[in-house]
Amino acid sequence: MPSANEPPIVSLRDVHQSFGDVEVLKGVSMDVPKGAVVCIIGPSGSGKSTLLRCINGLVPISRGSIRVGSFDVHSLRTDQEKIALRKEVSIVFQQYNLFPHKTALQNVMMAPIHVLKEDKDQVHVRAVALLKKVGLSAKADAYPGELSGGQQQRVAIARSLAMRPEVMLFDEITAALDPETVKEVLNTIRELAQDGMTCMLVTHEMRFAREIAHDVYFTDGGLIVESGPPAELFDRPKMERTRAFLSQIL
């Protein structure tokens, strides 16, 4: 459960970001307490994915500030600085992005061995445990091409977890999956949340967001239109735009 006294682990202040002439984020602010699960919902192109990418430094911001733990993400310039941040913040992508020439187990083991420089045997033990946790013990030696979308996505989650991050970002990770496999991936995230991992999800799974989130943010046109606990935002939306969006989707 998130605690109210600690400082937030992720904190955004007036974040602006543009690609060329197109302003994608137009001043986004949010605080995510440690251990909280935050869902970001909104129409396509509203800047949700960009927001996540900004948080782990994949996309530089043009104005404002992003703090994650002890890092000022907006002022990280060198690769070394970004690498330090990315040990703390891990992202899982919509298209899984596993390394196709490595087995599931090798995918999970790679970063801890080569980035954290941990002992290979210990990493192996942990990787096997992580694959078990996401329900893929039997697929450890399979290549990504031999796995279903849902299985690949769970390997991707295990791969991120292997870095023992403080914060996990999930970028529409169920959007490319069929409805049945969505469930297995969501179950994995549910367990993570119960373990107290700080999670930020961009999602279109409203029912799941309502069930799991401590806070829900509705974004449109690069701005946060409305935010609040799921019960409030889904059942008693204050803004007209939020109502319109939810009536389309629910």
Residues at the interface with other proteins (CB under 8 A)? 19-22, 24, 44-45, 47, 49-50, 53, 56, 58-59, 79, 82-84, 86-87, 90-91, 93, 95, 97-101, 110-111, 114-115, 145, 159-160, 163
| Closest by CA position to 168, among listed 137, 130, 132, 136 | 130
Q: How far is the CB of 85 from other proteins (least distance, A)?
A: 8
Tokens 């946790």 — which residue?
133
Q: How far is the CB of 86 from other proteins (least distance, A)?
A: 4
Closer to other proteins by CB, 105 or 233: give it: 105
**Secondary structure percentages of the chain, helix, strand, coil, to 5:** 40, 25, 35
Q: How far is the CB of 115 from other proteins (least distance, A)?
A: 5
Closer to other proteins by CB, 89 or 225: give it: 89
User: How many Cβ atoms are within 10 Å of 213's Cβ, its own excluded?
Assistant: 24
Q: How far is the CB of 124 from other proteins (least distance, A)?
A: 17
Closer to other proteins by CB, 24 or 104: give it: 24
Closer to other proteins by CB, 168 or 212: give it: 168
Closer to other proteins by CB, 107 or 174: give it: 107
3-state secondary structure of 37: strand
Q: Which residues of 25-43 are buried (b: 16+ CB within 10 A; e: fewer)?
A: bbbbebebbbbbbbbbbbb
Closer to other proteins by CB, 59 or 128: give it: 59
| Closest by CA position to 224, among listed 58, 12, 18 | 12
Rounded to the nearest 10 degrees, how much is the dihedral formed by the CA atoms of 19, 23, 28, 32? -30
Closer to other proteins by CB, 21 or 240: give it: 21
Q: How far is the CB of 111 from other proteins (least distance, A)?
A: 4
Q: How far is the CB of 88 from other proteins (least distance, A)?
A: 9
CA distance readout (Å), 179 to 2, 13, 43, 149, 224: 30, 36, 20, 11, 28
- Give the integer Cα–Cα distance in Å for 123 and 198: 23
Q: How far is the CB of 194 from other proteins (least distance, A)?
A: 24
- Copy the structure tokens of residue 67: 């703090």
**CB of 63 closer than 8 Å to CB of 14:** yes
